[in-house]
């Protein structure tokens, strides 16, 4: 039997209550840090690194006249005053800071002195016990369909922690979803399967070369794991982020439909997720540039054509 430490801790970037987009019903979603993929459209870039990074919330800074503490503690002189500007709150003049990311080594010293939470680490460590307390606090909202979703990042990267949360929740009669890229050792999917009601499983591209170009890894392991979960009696909600110029084509959707058809009854739903670029400010917060600036969301007609295709295969499908 596989043994697990009771005092286990994990690294999360957020725990979100009342979530309605991460599986059936109303759920609490635990977002873990660390992901082996580098999807060009990633909506949570702060989750890609397991290591903490410096996050910057410009609006919260109270200015160097009232504060300025961060500049004094930075060991690398990466923080400096920028030109005075009008405050959006009361129209007074305020002098905020800038970060020279080329000098910043993410030591996080500035986050420990910032009184306004303008400079914060991208995540935090938390024990299994504290995650579970947070989950139980929301239990009254779950109803018949809702429960807990373990997401990321890629939650299977912190496998021991993800396994521990899933087991603890299942043993407390909560329903458990794991939101996964599918890129993790197959044996770990087999281990966790008894404690998971539904895998929210991303299928991003059926072509191995394009998969490498768009998400940074080959799709072979991902497709093998979808088959493995189906073969072992697991349930899959397939999620397809639908991104013009990248994976939104009839050819890719037909290949995806063929693949899903072969997974049989394991597939409870195929969700087509229209691309949007609302998360781009998150990139600026951690000092990165968003790469898909020239990609627009797909039209309603285009999304409908992909939905019609899935339905023509007699697959359960929806635009989400």
- Which positions lie near ligand SF4, rule CB under 6 A? 54, 61-62, 64, 67-70, 73-74, 76, 78-79, 97, 99, 104-110, 113-116, 118-119
User: Closest CB to ligand SF4 among 117 and 299?
Assistant: 117
Question: Which of 177, 202, 299, 221 has the alpha carbon at shortest distance from 260?
Answer: 202
- Do 273 and 243 meet the contact criterion of CB atoms below 8 Å apart? no
State the distance between the two ends of the chain, measured CA to CA, in whole angstroms.
39
User: Closest CB to ligand SF4 among 27 and 96?
Assistant: 96
Smallest distance, ligand SF4 to C-beta of residue 16, A: 25
- HEC string for 181-238: CCCCCHHHHHHHHHHCCEEEEECCCCCHHHHHHHHCCCCHHHHHHHHHHHHCCCCEEE
Smallest distance, ligand SF4 to C-beta of residue 94, A: 9
Give bridge partners of residue 236 from the DSSP assignment: 199, 267
User: Closest CB to ligand SF4 among 111 and 219?
Assistant: 111
**What is d(CA 58, CA 305) in angstroms, rounded to the nearest whole number?**
41
Smallest distance, ligand SF4 to C-beta of residue 285, A: 13
User: Closest CB to ligand SF4 among 109 and 223?
Assistant: 109
Smallest distance, ligand SF4 to C-beta of residue 201, A: 36
Is the preceding peptide bond at 153 cis, omega within 30 degrees of 0? yes
User: Closest CB to ligand SF4 among 50 and 141?
Assistant: 50
User: Closest CB to ligand SF4 among 62 and 307?
Assistant: 62
Smallest distance, ligand SF4 to C-beta of residue 38, A: 23
- Do 169 and 147 meet the contact criterion of CB atoms below 8 Å apart? yes
Smallest distance, ligand SF4 to C-beta of residue 50, A: 17
Q: What is the DSSP letter of 133?
A: H
């Amino acid at each position: 039997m596989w043994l697990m430490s009771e005092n286990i801790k994990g690294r999360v970037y957020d725990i979100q209550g009342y979530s309605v987009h991460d599986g059936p019903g109303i759920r609490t979603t635990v977002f873990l840090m660390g992901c082996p993929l580098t999807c060009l459209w990633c909506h949570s870039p702060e989750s890609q690194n397991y290591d903490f990074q410096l996050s910057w919330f410009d609006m919260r800074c109270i200015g160097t006249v009232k504060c300025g503490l961060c500049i004094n503690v930075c060991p690398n002189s990466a923080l400096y005053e920028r030109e005075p500007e009008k405050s959006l709150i009361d129209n007074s003049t305020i002098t905020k800071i800038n970060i020279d990311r080329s000098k910043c080594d993410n030591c996080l010293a500035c986050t420990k002195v910032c009184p306004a939470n303008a400079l914060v680490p991208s995540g935090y460590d938390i024990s299994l016990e504290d995650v579970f307390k947070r989950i139980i606090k929301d239990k009254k909202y779950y109803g018949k369909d809702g429960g807990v979703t373990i997401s990321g990042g890629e939650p299977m990267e912190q496998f021991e922690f993800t396994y521990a949360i899933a087991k603890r929740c299942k043993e407390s009669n909560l329903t458990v979803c794991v939101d996964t890229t599918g890129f993790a050792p197959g044996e770990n999917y087999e281990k966790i399967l008894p404690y998971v009601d539904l895998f929210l499983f991303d299928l991003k591209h059926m072509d191995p070369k394009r998969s490498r170009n768009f998400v940074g890894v080959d799709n072979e392991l991902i497709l093998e794991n979808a088959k493995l979960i189906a073969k072992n009696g697991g349930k899959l909600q397939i999620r397809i982020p639908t991104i013009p110029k990248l994976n939104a084509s009839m050819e890719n959707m037909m290949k995806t439909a063929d693949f899903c058809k072969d997974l049989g009854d394991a597939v409870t739903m195929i969700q087509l997720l229209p691309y949007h670029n609302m998360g781009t400010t998150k990139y600026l917060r951690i000092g990165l540039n968003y790469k898909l600036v020239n990609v627009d969301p797909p039209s309603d007609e285009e999304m409908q054509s992909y939905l019609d295709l899935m339905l023509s295969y007699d697959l359960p499908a929806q635009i989400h």
